[in-house]
Each structure stands twice: as C-alpha cells, then as structure tokens.
C-alpha cells in the first residue's frame, strides 16, 4: 500500500473523468504510511488523493477534483477461485519483461518465465479472484520453489471464452445462486452480451426446477438484451463521430430488433433517417453545382468550375459538408446569378462557408492560389518554391487571412505513397513486380511505412490510418515510441490492435478514429536513451513528415512510448510543451540525475498521464521527486500505478488512456510562460525562438552531469494588455512569431526583449505571405501557422 485508504467514493475530475474506488490521502506517490512523513511537532500535509480500485492506484492533486459524486461501498461481485496459492516463498521485488507466457488453462493457471542472471525463473500463476474491475492472479505452490506474487489484470482484458472456462470450473454448475453471481459479475462489468449468454445457459440448465422462476429469467434476459442493444448503439454513434459513416450505416441497417425497446429502435430509425437525408441533400447539392457550372458563359471559367465541381463530387463527405452551407442556402433562391453562385461554391470549398466570396474572378484566382500553395509546401527545390511564392503573392485574393484558411482546409501536400518512377516500356519485362497497394491481399488496410532523412541518417516511421480515412478531415494522432530493440509495429499493435487476416486492425485506435504513427528512433545496439539532439530530431522530423502526408490534427497529437521510448516521450514533452495535446509515458522513469530535474516547471504547460507498474524496477520511487512536483496546482497530471505489474505493456490502461486523450486538446499559447532549457536545441517555445543562449547554462548530454553551480537558463514570454508582447531571455538573438491569436494586426504592436523595444512605438506589423507559407512548410502545422515575425537586429 502506498497510502492508507479510508473510504470508497466516486469522484468527478475537472476534465470530466470519473474515478471510483477506495479513497485516501497521501503526501507523495512513494510515501509509506507506516513511516512518519514529518518531524515531531510538524503538521503533516497530504495534498494528493489516491484512488484504488483493486487493479490500479490513481494519484491526482486535490485541486483536480470537481466534486464527489458518491460516497459509500463500491465493491461489486467477488468470485473466489480456489488455487493452491503460495503462502511462503521467494518474493519478486522486480519483474522484468517475460520471455514466455502461456495462456490461462481452464482452471485459471498459466506459466510465466522471467529471465534472470541465474537463468530463467519459472512462475506458476493462478486466478484466485474475479471482480468486475480486476482479476487477481497469484503465485502458486510449486516444486522446487514457490514465488509470492500478487498481480492484478483488468477483467475486461480477458476474452469471454477464457473467463467462461475459469468460472465454469470455479462455480458449481448445480448451484443456482452462484451461477447467478456470474451473471451479476458480467452485468457490473458492463459485459451485457456475456451476461445474457450465461443467463441463457442458466435458463436451460435449471428450466422447471423448484425455486427457479422462468418468467423472472426471461424478463432479465430481455433487460440484458436491451442493455446490449444500447451499448451497440453507443458504439455506432462513436463510429459516426470518428468519421466511419459507412460502417455506422451498415451497423444501423443490421441492428437487431428482437427484444429491443421501442425508444432504442426509434433512435436507430432517427439515425438512419438523418443519414439518408444527408445523403439526399448531398446528391441534390451536387446536381445544383453541376447545373451552376454549366450555366457559366465564359469557357475558361466554366472549365475551372467544372474541375472543382468534379473534385467536390469525389470528395464531398460528412467531414466537408459544412464548406458548402452558404451555397446550399443561396442555390435554392434567385438572389444570385450563376457566376456569383459558382464563386460562393468554389470559395466555400477552398476557404470554408463562412469565408466564401461572390466574386467569380476572385474564386477562380483562389483555385490557382491553392495549386501554387500545394506546390510551395511540397517543393524541396528553393527555386521552384520561389516561383510558386511569386505566383501566390501577385494573385487576386492572396491576403494572408485567406491563405491561412485555405492552408488549414487543404489535404496534406505530399503523398503517403510515392508514385512509381517513369519506366521505359521496353524495360517493363525486366522489372520486379510492384509491391501490393494498400488493401490488396498480403497487406494491412491503412498501414504504410516511410523513411525520412534526418541528417546523415534515414529514419523509418510507420502509420496506421483509421477506417474510411479522409484526407480532408483532421484526425487525432498518437505518436508512439517503442523501447530499445522493439519494432515500431509493436507500438502500432498496442494502440490499434494486432493484424487480423483479411480484416486488419480492430483495436481502440480503430474504434476511436485515431491515426497511429510509430518511429524507429533508436540506433542499432543502443543501450539507453541518451537525451541527444539526434534522438529528438528523429522523432520531430518524422512527425513533420507524417503531418505533410497524413491529415493530422496538430491540436490533438499525443506523444507516448514504452520503456526508453517513454523516457524520450517524457523528454520531448518537457523540451517542446507547445507541440503536444498530451503525453502518456508507459514504464518510463524520471531519474533525478537527468534534464528532467531542471525542466520540471515546463511540465505545467502540457497534460500528463504517467503509467507505471508497481514492480517495474522501483521506477515510481525513482521518479518520486518529479512526480510529486507534477502533482500540484496548475499542473494537469495523473499518475497510475498497476498493482503487482512489472515490465509489461500495461494494455489494461488503453481504454482509460483513450478516455483521457478524448478530453485533452492543445490550445492557444498561454498568456505567460517561462520554460527552462539547458540544451541549445531546446530553444523554441510557442511564439519565442532564441539563439545564442548562455554557454555556461548549456550542458550537452556527453558532458552530463553539469558542474557545480551550473543552472538552467529560462525563456519567458508574456502577453500584456494593449497589444504588447514581452520576451525575457538571456539570448543573443530572438525571433518573435506573430499570429492573430496573439496580437491584433489592425493596431500598433509593441514588442520588447529584456525591456528593449524591437518595434518603433506606434508601428504596425503587416501579415506576410512568405512568412506564413514558410512557417507552414517547415513546421508542417497547417492549423496554427504564424503570419509574421520580428527578429532582433
């Protein structure tokens, strides 16, 4: 136990999450309640709450709690499973990665082999208790040696067949009351189909028995089927929200009607009707668009309009419907002629309905601008970029606000799959067969791999796209980093599920509509994470390459990893807090003797969910100082410790992780920030970029640890009232990047560096086309590009 647990409660946190379990207070994540935490006469403070549900301990600061929803007993059904569990034996204080794990047999037993310096350790485990939340697995008596090990697994992670077989041998089949306990277990675990399956078996086994009321069983079966149907309906609505409309439509059309309540079926009909109405409106809109393009008198204008109409017909979807709202509303009347309507449709498609214009020359110019913007963002040749820039700059409608809207709505400028190089017809017979395209036999649907050049090194990254991927829709994205020696594909499997032949991946990222990007960030034979610029660049350059090729929502990028990959994710979040919507290190460690100890204040600017195993090499105690620093007011931090777990992937946490990510989003730059840095490449925070930082504060990883007296330097930015910005940094040069979220370009802007004015009083700063384009190209953040910049002389 990490803290004394007093009572059961259900808490609602500030972000809306619900935590249920036994509630306690503690002064720190590694506190031992049996050892006094303060000297005699001192008042012991316990600012942290720990909520334990039997599976895990969750730590949050008291200020993270919005309200207590319920207090009282939260215990559900507990089914004991007899095993010959070890009462004495060797304790396993540290659990490394298992070399072999057998499946549970019908009696709930399995074998785990763990590597050690003295050879493999074989542990026989058995399921001793099953609850709706967790399944308890303990070490069993064995010859020649028994091991004491109390592990908890999420009951939701056990397949129904496995759990059915274990419970079938644990519960007397002729005991009606105990059989009903299994039904209640599944019911409390919200596994309604499993509960109905068990109840049907009970009805068949006990039909006509004295004391068993068949009508009650039938009534309960109807209720369970209704609960299962509501769960299915929730899943369908999740798939709709995730952009999987074809799948949702198919599930609605096949929705089972037998035993389902009328209000549920009514909701199904409403969703089908809404989908059909949207489909019909889309078809009507496309017909009106074709007719409008056909009425244009000027052949050149008609050709461009027909090209865009063809593009819209191919790309119009629920994700892009709102772009043509203005056209839909105006096309039903006669207030506008064909030219004005065509302009509204074309400009709305490119800029969004709220930014549409009724000038056809401007709309046609926007089409040319869009083509040149795509060329600029995709082009690696500076001369070709300059040519595209000049064409954009001189075009009608090339104002920076319009360009920003256009860039935000474009599909990624680079292809995910490179087109094949031109091959002479005579040489085709000598060519090797082309690799199968995505979706062909032998491939995983939506899975791609690429390489990107990072300095002298080629870095491989892989991506799994969600079903029904639409490049004109923005997708939340998980950037995941494997442990040393582990393939990137393993991280994709963790988040999106393993590959099923003929189906693909059907895991949580698939359900929720997330893109998963995994980077092979480490070098061959690397032994530990090194905190180097090369490691940072491998990840950040790969991410930007992905953002140029995949429709990634830059406000919803979550960085995560396992083991050394978690350490890198942790470091990236501290060094670049402005990039991420959240960080989820699994099995990482914040060693005191690292940059983490100097960068800890940077953690307040990004949400954290830190997941650890209780027996994973004492990592929670080794990270205690940093975790306690993060668990304070103004920080958004959750620490989760899984009971009895060592170094394993902790896939039990994945549903909680998606619930957490669904509530986190990167926002605008804070009104004021101050970030610490000790590496010259950690020099860009939101709208401030600093160069020439004090050498005495810069400590390269190869020179670590720092000499006595060395301190980190800080970069501070503040937004004052009156359209004024202040930068405070001991840097030789700074660049201040400006956006409409930060300043009002219609008024004079004041900018100071350490009190020295960078812009003459009363001067305005005009948005700049080149700055916008170059920032969108280099950072690949098409959602929040900067419009102008001011640099020190």
One-character DSSP codes across 201-264: HHHHHHTT-TT--HHHHHHHHHHHHHHHHHHHHHHHHHHHHTT-HHHHHHHHHT---TT--HHH
pLDDT at position 5: 55
Percent pLDDT > 90 in the chain is 85
pLDDT of residue 43: 55
DSSP string for 513-526 = T-EEEEE--SPTT-
> What stretch of H or E contains 538?
helix 533-549
Distances (CA, A) of 558 to 30, 358, 423, 536: 27, 40, 41, 15
Fold for 435-667, please state it.
Rossmann fold (3.40.50)
Query: Quick one: pLDDT at residue 118?
Result: 82
Bridge partners (DSSP) of residue 13 are 65
Please count the other Cβ atoms lying within 10 Å of the Cβ belonging to residue 709: 6
Q: Is the pLDDT of residue 79 over 50?
A: yes
pLDDT digits over 691-738, tens only? 999 999 999 999 999 999 999 999 999 999 999 999 999 999 999 999
pLDDT of residue 424: 52
Q: Answer yes or no: are the C-beta atoms of 446 and 498 closer than 8 Å.
A: no
> pLDDT tens across 441-486, in order?
458 999 999 999 999 999 999 999 999 999 999 999 999 999 999 9
**Distance (Å, whole) CA 153 – CA 652:** 7
Instruction: Give the Cα separation of 750 and 342 in Å (integer).
Output: 42
648-673 pLDDT tens trace? 999 999 999 999 999 999 999 999 99
pLDDT tens-digit map of 3-29: 455 688 999 999 999 999 999 999 999
Q: How confident is the model at residue 44 (pLDDT cuts 50, 70, 90)?
A: low
**Those residues with Cβ within 8 angstroms of residue 293's Cβ, 6 or more apart along the chain or in another chain:** 302, 305, 306, 308, 309, 342
Average pLDDT over residues 557-579: 98
Q: What is the pLDDT of residue 32?
A: 56
pLDDT of residue 442: 52
Cα separation, 615 vs 121, whole angstroms:
16
pLDDT at 426 over 60: no
pLDDT confidence of residue 725: 97
**pTM over the 0.75 mark:** yes
Tokens encoding 531: 């905190």
Strand stretches in 389-512, DSSP E:
447-454, 457-464, 475-481, 499-500, 504-505
Q: Is the pLDDT of residue 428 over 60?
A: no
Dihedrals phi, psi of 435, to nearest 5 degrees: -65, 155
**What's the average model confidence in pLDDT over 667-693?**
96
Q: pLDDT tens for residues 127-145? A: 999 999 999 999 999 988 8
Band (430; pLDDT cuts 50, 70, 90):
very low
pLDDT score at 431: 44
8-state DSSP, 428: G
What average pLDDT score do residues 276-298 get?
Answer: 95
Q: What are phi and psi of 165, to 5 degrees?
A: -65, -40
Contacts of 613 (CB under 8 A, 6+ apart): 95, 587, 619, 641, 642, 645, 646, 647, 648, 650
pLDDT at 6: 64
Q: Is residue 489 very low, low, confident or very high in pLDDT (cuts 50, 70, 90)?
A: very high
Asked if 22 and 7 count as a contact pair (C-beta separation under 8 A), the reply is yes
Neighbours of 133 (CB within 10 A): 20
Does 775 score more than 90 pLDDT?
Answer: yes
What are the residues facing 735 on neighbouring strands? 689, 791
pLDDT of 427: 43
Contact between 147 and 89 under an 8 Å Cβ cutoff? The reply is yes
For 181-199, the pLDDT digits (tens) are 999 999 999 999 999 999 9
Query: Comparing 31-40, 581-590, 625-634, 698-707, which segment has the lowest mean pLDDT?
Result: 31-40
Distance CA 168, CA 163 (A): 8
Of 44-48, 431-435, 649-653, the range with the lowest mean pLDDT is 431-435
Domain boundary assignment for the chain: 5-71, 80-170, 288-409, 435-667, 674-791
Copy the structure tokens of residue 751: 């900018």
Q: Cis before residue 775, ω within 30 degrees of 0?
A: no
Percent of the residues in the chain that have a pLDDT greater than 70, as a whole number: 94
How far apart (Å, rounded) are the C-alpha atoms in residues 569 and 563?
10
Q: Encoding tokens for residue 350?
A: 């490119």
Lowest mean pLDDT segment, chosen from 195-204, 269-278, 557-566: 195-204
Bridge partners (DSSP) of residue 65 are 13
Give the separation between CA 184 and CA 187, rounded to whole angstroms: 5
Cα distance between residue 646 and residue 92, in whole Å: 10
**Confidence band (pLDDT; 50, 70, 90) for 247?**
very high
Q: What is the mean pLDDT of residues 517-531?
A: 96
Quote the tokens at residue 521.
Answer: 């960030």
Nearest to 310 by CA among 327, 293, 323: 293
HSE, CB side, 13 Å, CA atoms: give it for residue 283: 5
End-to-end CA distance of the chain: 59
C-alpha 340, offset from chain centre? 42
Per-residue model confidence (pLDDT) at position 335: 84
Contact 613, 95 (CB under 8 A): yes
Directed axis angle between helix 192-206 and helix 176-188, to 10°? Answer: 170
More confident residue, 480 or 419: 480
Bridge partners of 21, per DSSP, are 9
* Helix/strand number for the chain, H first, E second: 21, 32
Instruction: Return the pLDDT at 33.
Output: 43
Q: Tell me if 611 sits within 8 A of 37, measured CB to CB.
A: no
State in words which class domain 5-71 has: mainly beta
Contact 565, 542 (CB under 8 A): no
């Amino acid at each position: 136990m990490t803290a004394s647990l007093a009572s059961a409660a259900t808490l609602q946190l500030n972000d809306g999450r619900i935590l249920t379990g036994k509630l306690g207070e503690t002064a720190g994540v590694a506190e031992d309640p049996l050892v006094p935490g303060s000297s005699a006469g001192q008042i012991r403070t316990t600012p942290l709450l720990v909520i334990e549900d039997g599976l895990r301990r969750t730590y949050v600061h008291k200020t993270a709690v919005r309200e207590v929803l319920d207090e009282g007993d939260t215990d559900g059904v507990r089914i004991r499973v007899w095993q010959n569990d070890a009462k004495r034996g060797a304790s396993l204080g540290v659990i490394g990665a298992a070399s072999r794990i057998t499946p549970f047999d019908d009696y709930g037993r399995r074998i785990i082999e763990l590597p050690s310096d003295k050879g493999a350790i074989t542990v026989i485990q058995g399921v001793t208790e099953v609850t709706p939340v967790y399944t308890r697995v303990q070490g069993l008596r064995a010859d020649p040696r028994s091991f004491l090990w109390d592990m908890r697994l999420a009951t939701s992670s056990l397949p129904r067949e496995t759990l059915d077989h274990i419970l079938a041998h644990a519960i007397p089949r002729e005991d009606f009351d105990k059989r009903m306990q299994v039904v209640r277990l599944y019911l409390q675990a919200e596994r309604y189909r499993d509960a109905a399956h068990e109840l049907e078996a009970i009805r068949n086994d006990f039909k006509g028995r004295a004391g068993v009321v068949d009508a009650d069983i039938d009534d309960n079966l109807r209720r369970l089927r209704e609960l299962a149907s509501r769960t299915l309906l929730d899943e369908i609505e999740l798939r709709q929200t995730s952009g999987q409309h074809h799948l949702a439509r198919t599930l609605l059309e096949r929705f089972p009607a037998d035993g389902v309540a009328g209000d549920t079926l009514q909701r199904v009909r409403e969703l089908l009707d809404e989908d059909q109405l949207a489909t019909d409106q889309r078809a009507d809109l496309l017909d009106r668009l074709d007719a409008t393009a056909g009425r244009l008198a000027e052949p050149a204008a008609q050709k461009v309009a027909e090209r865009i109409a063809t593009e819209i017909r191919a790309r119009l979807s629920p994700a892009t419907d709102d772009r043509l709202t203005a056209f839909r509303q105006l096309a039903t009347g006669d207030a506008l002629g064909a030219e004005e309507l065509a302009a509204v449709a074309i400009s709305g498609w490119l800029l969004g309905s709220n930014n549409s214009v009724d000038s056809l020359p401007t709309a046609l110019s926007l089409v040319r601008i869009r083509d040149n913007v795509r060329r600029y963002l995709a082009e690696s040749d500076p001369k070709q970029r300059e040519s595209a820039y000049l064409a954009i700059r001189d075009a009608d409608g090339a104002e920076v606000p319009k360009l920003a809207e256009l860039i935000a709505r474009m599909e990624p400028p680079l292809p995910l799959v490179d087109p094949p190089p031109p091959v002479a017809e005579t040489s085709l017979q000598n060519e090797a067969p082309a690799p199968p395209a995505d979706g062909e036999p032998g491939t995983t649907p939506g899975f791609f791999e690429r390489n990107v050049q990072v300095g002298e090194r080629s870095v491989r990254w892989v991506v799994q796209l969600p079903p029904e991927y639409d490049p004109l829709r923005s997708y939340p994205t998980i950037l995941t980093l494997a442990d040393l020696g582990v393939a990137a594909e393993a991280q994709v499997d963790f988040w999106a599920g393993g590959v099923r032949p003929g189906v693909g991946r059907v895991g949580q990222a698939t359900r929720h509509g997330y893109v998963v990007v995994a980077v092979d960030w480490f070098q061959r034979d690397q032994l530990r994470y090194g905190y180097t610029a090369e490691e940072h660049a491998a990840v950040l350059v790969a991410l930007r390459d992905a953002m140029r090729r995949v429709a990634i929502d830059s406000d919803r990028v979550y960085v995560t990893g396992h083991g050394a990959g978690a350490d890198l994710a942790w470091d990236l979040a501290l060094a670049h807090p402005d990039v991420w919507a959240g960080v989820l290190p699994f099995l990482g460690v914040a060693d005191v003797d690292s940059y983490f100890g100097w960068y800890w204040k940077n953690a307040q600017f990004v949400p954290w969910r830190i997941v650890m195993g209780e027996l994973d090499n004492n990592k929670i105690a080794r990270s205690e100082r940093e975790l306690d620093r993060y668990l304070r007011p103004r920080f958004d931090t959750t620490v989760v410790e899984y009971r009895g777990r060592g170094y394993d992937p902790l896939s039990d946490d994945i549903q909680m992780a998606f619930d957490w990510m669904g509530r986190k989003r990167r926002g605008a730059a804070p009104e004021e920030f101050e970030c610490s840095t000790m590496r010259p490449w950690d020099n860009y925070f939101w709208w401030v970029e600093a160069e020439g930082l004090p050498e005495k504060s810069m400590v390269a990883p190869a020179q670590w640890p720092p000499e006595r007296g060395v301190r980190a330097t800080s970069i501070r930015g503040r937004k004052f009232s009156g359209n004024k910005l202040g930068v405070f940094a001991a840097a030789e040069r700074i660049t201040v990047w400006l956006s409409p979220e930060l300043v009002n370009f219609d008024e004079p802007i004041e900018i100071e560096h350490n009190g020295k004015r960078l812009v003459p009083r009363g001067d305005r700063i005009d948005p700049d086309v080149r700055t916008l384009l170059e920032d969108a190209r280099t950072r690949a953040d098409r959602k929040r590009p900067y419009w102008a910049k001011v640099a020190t002389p």
